[in-house]
Amino acid sequence: MLNPRTSGPARSPAVAPSARTAPSRAPSRAPSSPEGFTVSARQDPRLARTGEHWLSLPNPRGVPVEICAGAGVPLEPAAVTEALALLETAGTLERLAEATPGYTGPEPRITRAALTPDFHKGAGIPIGTVLETEHALLPQAVGSDVNCGMRLEVTALRAGRVRARLDALERRLRHLFFEGGRRIALTPVQREALLRDGLPGLLLAGAAPWRGFRPEDADDALDRAHACAHPAATAAAFADWIGSAGGASHDSVIGGIGGGNHFAELQYVAEVHDPAAAHAWGLTPGTVVTMVHSGSLSLGHQANATALDALRAGWPAGLPRPRDGVLPFLLDERSEPARRRYLDAFANAANFAAGNRYFLSLAMRAGLAAECGDPDARPLYDAPHNLFWRDGDRFVHRKGATPAGGHAEMAGGPYAMWGEPVIVPGSMGASSFVLRGHGNPRTLASACHGAGRRVPRGASARGGDAELDAFLREFRVVTPLDHRDPVTARRRDVMAAWRRDLKQEAPWAYKDIGPVVSSLAGGGVATPVAELRPLLTVKG
């Protein structure tokens, strides 16, 4: 079922995403947008190619670092520099253990790292980093949008039915998401249940019948909870939100999409690459799905800020703070109270994010139900890409990297047969992919979380007006602003800000998804199951 237009070595399952070519007027490159942020891997002498789909990053600390990226993936030298700086944290850990009074624990270490093909520069640590440590926890290796992730639901609707109702759906979803239509009622007791015990906790505690809710959602949440439900001892860090005004009738936070690259999208299965797995997962051609990309809004930021404040305050006097600002927790007794506060707030934020993706999916269900008939939507997966996983004193941190377990990692659960669903969204207007993971140890069983930014934020704000207009003519984008409304469109200041933000997320600000997905497939990290194309995008 692979696209015959793709040429490539027979060994690498070739993927030809139709994203760049299929929507005939879609801008695939932007001559006016700034270039020069990325190079091909062979132009960066710090990288060593070890295979068709693999590079290594030799470093003075001798930490094994594998990068999954074929020759066609553009890489950002600034992000390579950032990755090298991160590895110096190994030295920080040594000095911190020595300088911490009474530290007698095992030597804290960075044992392994991997970069996914979408990696690009982040705030201190590249987005697309997988980091394994022992006896040390790095909040910044998760990122401040704790449990940002993807949720995919498969509906019983066909693309034709949705396409015929797009105008009405657009109005309906605008109302649901941006005009007070979501009306998600949560009592303080329910908010606390969500933050402490996650979505299963909330739904099993006796869910209110929100629009779109199905009783089976509780079972689904339990079945699929895995790492997304983090029990927390307390939700004290978020007492304000739990008890905030609005309470039982309306919540102004939950149900928000967020900004940046976050979205909720109606898509359909355009191509099947792995018929057996696609059939098992309900991803048959023409099937409509809802895809949600969102995080913990302000909660993760608060958790992260709390941790960093504690780390700075407890930093040993006389030990210089690392230049890159990456501060680790040691697993010693002295840092335990602060670490506990962070772990609880982290768990609260992670639970909020997964719950919020559920509520965003409910809004999509409600919109579909009102315009197209019962979508009978069932979650395929909720995949966190900013999170850490703990196994004793070993931590696997993923920042902008998504789990891609294989049969072994998924044994005993609903994904044992085909491996873990890996949701890789393309840039706006482009195809997205569902893949299945193979548990490849070279990436610590991780895949990328998207196409990856190619042009830094801010830089991409310049130029690209013609391309943005072409994009907006081609694709249906629902935003808080109706740019086609004559009154709104006359507010030049408002429209300028809106266009600036949208341009930062435009297709030309991102890498092509094709070589990225081909790297995952060829490298044996995850193989494509189905390709999805957008019908309607809701942008926060």
Residues annotated catalytic, as ranges: 449
| Shortest separation between residue 296's beta carbon and DNA, angstroms | 8
The neighbouring-strand residues paired with 15 are: none
Give the pair of three-digit tokens for residue 72.
Answer: 């066609």
Please identify, using beta-carbon distances, which residue of 95 and 462 lies nearer to DNA: 462
Please identify, using beta-carbon distances, which residue of 437 and 540 lies nearer to DNA: 540
Asked if residue 301 belongs to a known ligand binding site, the reply is no
Asked if residue 427 belongs to a known ligand binding site, the reply is yes
Tell which positions 225-254 bind DNA, by CB under 7 A.
253
Task: Measure CA 442 to chain center.
Answer: 20
Please identify, using beta-carbon distances, which residue of 294 and 446 lies nearer to DNA: 294
Give the pair of three-digit tokens for residue 313.
Answer: 């305050």
Please identify, using beta-carbon distances, which residue of 13 and 429 lies nearer to DNA: 429
Please identify, using beta-carbon distances, which residue of 74 and 256 lies nearer to DNA: 256
Euclidean distance between CA atoms 388 and 384, whole angstroms: 10
Report the half-sphere exposure of 128 (CA within 13 A, side-chain side): 29
What element of type H or E holds 98?
Answer: helix 89-99
Residue 175 amino acid letter: H
| Shortest separation between residue 449's beta carbon and DNA, angstroms | 10
Please identify, using beta-carbon distances, which residue of 262 and 511 lies nearer to DNA: 262
361 lines the binding site for DNA (CB under 7 A): no
DSSP class of 510: B
457 lines the binding site for DNA (CB under 7 A): yes
540 lines the binding site for DNA (CB under 7 A): yes
Distances (CA, A) of 190 to 197, 241, 251: 10, 12, 12
Asked if residue 121 belongs to a known ligand binding site, the reply is no
What element of type H or E holds 532?
Answer: strand 526-539
Asked if residue 391 belongs to a known ligand binding site, the reply is no
Q: Which residues, at least 6 apart from 88, have a Cβ–Cβ distance to it below 8 Å?
A: 61, 322, 324
301 lines the binding site for DNA (CB under 7 A): yes
| Shortest separation between residue 397's beta carbon and DNA, angstroms | 17
Q: Which residues, at least 6 apart from 90, have a Cβ–Cβ distance to it below 8 Å?
A: 61, 63, 109, 110
537 lines the binding site for DNA (CB under 7 A): no
**Pattern of binders to DNA over 332-351, x per CB under 7 A?**
--------------------
| Shortest separation between residue 444's beta carbon and DNA, angstroms | 22
Say how many C-beta atoms besides its own lie within 10 A of residue 179's C-beta: 10
Radius of gyration of the chain (CA): 22
Task: Measure CA 107 to chain center.
Answer: 32
Euclidean distance between CA atoms 470 and 243, whole angstroms: 46
Please pick, from the candidates 151, 174, 191, 262, the single residue that binds DNA as defined by CB under 7 A.
262
Please pick, from the candidates 76, 82, 145, 271, the single residue that binds DNA as defined by CB under 7 A.
145
100 lines the binding site for DNA (CB under 7 A): no
Whether 73 and 515 have beta carbons less than 8 Å apart is answered as yes
494 lines the binding site for DNA (CB under 7 A): no
Give the pair of three-digit tokens for residue 174.
Answer: 């605008």
Euclidean distance between CA atoms 189 and 197, whole angstroms: 12
Please pick, from the candidates 126, 295, 426, 507, the single residue that binds DNA as defined by CB under 7 A.
295
Q: Which residues are annotated as a binding site for GMP?
A: 261-265, 385-386, 425-428, 432, 449-452, 539
Q: Which residues are annotated as a binding site?
A: 145, 261-265, 293, 385-386, 425-428, 432, 449-452, 539
Residues that bind DNA (CB under 7 A): 123, 144-145, 148, 253, 256, 258-262, 294-295, 297-298, 301, 457, 540
